[in-house]
Amino acid sequence: MSDLTPPAYTVPVNLGSRSYRVDVGHGLLKNLGAVASQCFGKLTSCAVITDSIVGPLYAESALASLKAAGKKPVLITVPSGEASKSLLSAQSVCGEMARAGLDRKSFVVALGGGVIGDLGGFCASIYQRGIPYIQVPTTVLSQVDSSVGGKTGVNLPEAKNMVGNFHQPAHVIADIETLSTLHKRERNEGFAEIIKHACIRDSSMFTAIELVAAGSGDLTDLIRWNIAIKAAVVEEDEFETLGTRALLNFGHTLGHAIEAAAGYGKLLHGEAISLGLRAAALLSVKLSTLTVAEADRIVDLLRRFELPVVLPSTFETEELLRISRMDKKFEHGKIRFVLLKSLGSAFVSDAVTESDLRDVIAAIRI
């Protein structure tokens, strides 16, 4: 164990028998095999699920670490992009797992961004009625958000994340070095989720985000901070039954609709959420107690990461509303919309009407 790279931070996710930890730091991918041995003991057969961009960069290191620990990995690669987050892709991945001879004594490693984390976790949750998995997120967005909390799933053509399970990982390895190969656009999209966390839970984070935007902040600590926020929310409301976890959907009702209407892959997830965050901030000014200055601070920070805040005219209002009605945040025809009382203080409101949504869609067009 002495040759392991120690994490800069370890964040626990305390969920009783489903508890796990998130390791954050540089050079942690080499620990994968040892972590797998810690989590799964003598289990050997496993699938490393990745995509066509991440695979050529990091699959060799992941496979070598697993083999050095006595594991027998098979590499499964899907095309990069949101289109791979589908039932068809899940069927293909599970088919490859079956052909490789994986059984109920096997495990999965999801190596990649949010799409791979969701797809890999979903396949682990349904294969042989559920096998364990490790998340190895390689983007800002997946490290701070989607790799933690156990939400797995795929999209339907009609709407995002409509088919899925809660299936907690056994461990998460957030290797900051994997972020060095991201293109600027992919790196920046993750800050939509970071800004969301500051909006709903901890306004003091705005200063830290602004420092990172200026090039002088500590990205590793900022990622640790966000993981801790996500972990705390998940611990309070693992299965989104109490309303607390729903707060993580701030900016997502319209954001998901915009992403689906654009066609999956045309807008990155964080880019669509950026537009949704602006809309939610404006609604919070109109229907709650968020000040104009606070809403402007949110939008200014989105702009500093070159995230979109103006909705193109090509998006039709009625189409966005139609997609929104299929969102899981609608219950009995009523919108459950997350608003802010102030920066760092969010709540779920049922006071938002379709008329309000039409108005705010018009407002974010300019």
Of the candidates 256, 259, 271, 278, the residue annotated as catalytic is 256
Of the candidates 189, 238, 240, 271, the residue annotated as catalytic is 240
Does the annotation mark 269 as catalytic?
Answer: yes
Distances (CA, A) of 227 to 9, 24, 70, 172: 10, 9, 30, 11
Does the annotation mark 334 as catalytic?
Answer: no
Q: Supply the mean pLDDT for the chain.
A: 96
| Direct distance between the N- and C-terminal alpha carbons of the chain, in angstroms, rounded to an integer | 56
How far is the C-alpha of 210 from the C-alpha of 217, rounded, in Å?
8
Structure tokens at 162: 């409509």
How far is the C-alpha of 316 from the C-alpha of 99, rounded, in Å?
45
Of the candidates 196, 230, 278, 297, the residue annotated as catalytic is 230
Does the annotation mark 196 as catalytic?
Answer: no
Of the candidates 82, 186, 193, 259, the residue annotated as catalytic is 193
Does the annotation mark 230 as catalytic?
Answer: yes
Of the candidates 151, 171, 196, 201, the residue annotated as catalytic is 151
DSSP state of 5: P
Q: What pairing do the DSSP bridges indicate for beta strands 133-137 and 171-175?
A: parallel
Structure tokens at 219: 């990205």
Asked if 5 and 27 touch (Cβ cutoff 8 Å), the reply is yes
CA angle, residues 125, 128, 130, in degrees to nearest 5: 25
What pLDDT sits at residue 41?
Answer: 96
Question: Is residue 48 classed exposed, middle or buried when 0-12, 13-18 and 19+ CB atoms within 10 A define those classes?
Answer: buried
DSSP state of 85: S
Does the annotation mark 151 as catalytic?
Answer: yes
Domains of the chain: residue spans and CATH: 9-181 (3.40.50.1970), 184-363 (1.20.1090.10)
| 3 state SS for 228-243 | HHHHHHHHHCCCCCCC
Does the annotation mark 278 as catalytic?
Answer: no
pLDDT in tens, 248-270: 999 999 999 999 999 988 999 99
Does the annotation mark 18 as catalytic?
Answer: no
Asked if 364 and 282 touch (Cβ cutoff 8 Å), the reply is yes
pLDDT in tens, 63-104: 999 999 999 999 999 999 999 999 999 999 999 999 999 999
What pLDDT sits at residue 312?
Answer: 97
Does the annotation mark 240 as catalytic?
Answer: yes
